[in-house]
Amino acid sequence: MKSDQQGYELIDFGDGRKLERFGPITVDRPAKGAWTPKSIPEAWESAELIYRGERMNASGGSWQVALESSRALSEMLEGWECEVQELTLQIVPQKTGQLGVFPEHWNQWGWFSQSIEARLAQGPVRVLHLFAYTGSTTLWMAKRGATVTHVDAMKQAVDWARTNAKLSGLEDKPIRWIVEDARRYVTRELKRESRYELVVLDPPSYGHGRKGEAWEIHRDLVPLMKDCWGLLSDDPIGVVLTSHTLNISAKELRMEMEMSQEGGKPIETDVFPSFLEDCSARRLECGEGIRFHKKKGTELDVH
């Protein structure tokens, strides 16, 4: 199903839900943290596709079509396209209530553009993107000139990302598509002495690798971050972590990463919010991110 409108917008949120438009279709679904009252109650009548369930990822949830919609539920569940900042992305409703994209990540694309384009003046920019899902950020970085290694443990997600590359006219960009557990892949890259200018990761709170490897962020993130720092080249941009998980400490992660190096070379951190802004200019908080880079004066100073 082709878009008859372009773009994405968060129309409103409140009472535990958010109202979003992805291209031609307006979606009403649960939203963690959206506990304020709705700002534009009448706007919710525009929703065509509604996810019923206590929360995202809850068992027993299901998609329903609004009575006023001219589209059949089966048609919408097959998916449609949405144009986002020069990219065309496939939106497909999932049983969990997800749609295959996380719009709060798109706020960081400007920083990626500046960092990659500035670093390209010195040579190629190699990016390792872990937990890369359906690839919107991978495609954005590749479009800006980076050579990207896209890693996700789900074959379905990597296939979806390749579809997004084709829809966006970027199938010929230098992207390596890897179906693998992030930790296993990073370990192999360290042994191969591979190096990257930028490592980007968006790990889940819990998950499983390609071969069933269990992932628990509070147990597994620190050793992975140490290894990611070890993959950086001599003149890197840094490591960027985004997370929806609570209680991730930038200070503790930085200290662990410093201690893993010979001589404990100092690391700078920038903590930034992850959010969406609705039509009333209200912010829906969606977590936070952390950028790790060399001490100021030695790193690429783009913020």
The answer to whether residues 205 and 253 belong to one domain is yes
CA-nearest of 219, 218, 220 to 184 is: 220
268-282 confidence digits (pLDDT tens): 999 988 999 999 999
36-45 confidence digits (pLDDT tens): 999 999 999 9
Domain boundary among 40, 67, 91: 91
* DSSP bridge partners of 8: 22
Structural domain for 169, as ranges: 103-294
Sign of the alpha-carbon dihedral angle for 119, 120, 124, 129:
positive
Confidence category of residue 303, pLDDT binned at 50, 70, 90: very low
- Give residue 301's pLDDT: 40
Domain boundary among 91, 118, 134: 91
Share of the chain above pLDDT 90, in %: 71
CATH code: domain of residue 132: 3.40.50.150
Angle between helices 217-230 and 182-191 (to 10 degrees): 30
Whole-number Å distance between alpha carbons of 146 and 125:
5
92-136 confidence digits (pLDDT tens): 999 999 999 999 999 999 999 999 999 999 999 999 999 999 999
Please state the domain count of the chain.
Answer: 2
The answer to whether residues 251 and 131 belong to one domain is yes
Residue 3 tokens, joined: 């878009």
Whole-number Å distance between alpha carbons of 243 and 174:
27
> When comparing pLDDT for 246 and 66, which is higher?
66
172-197 confidence digits (pLDDT tens): 999 999 999 999 999 999 999 999 99
Whether 273 is covered by a domain: the verdict is: yes
Read off the pLDDT of each residue in 32-60 and give the average, rounded to a whole number.
85
Domain boundary among 91, 122, 137: 91
- Give residue 144's pLDDT: 97
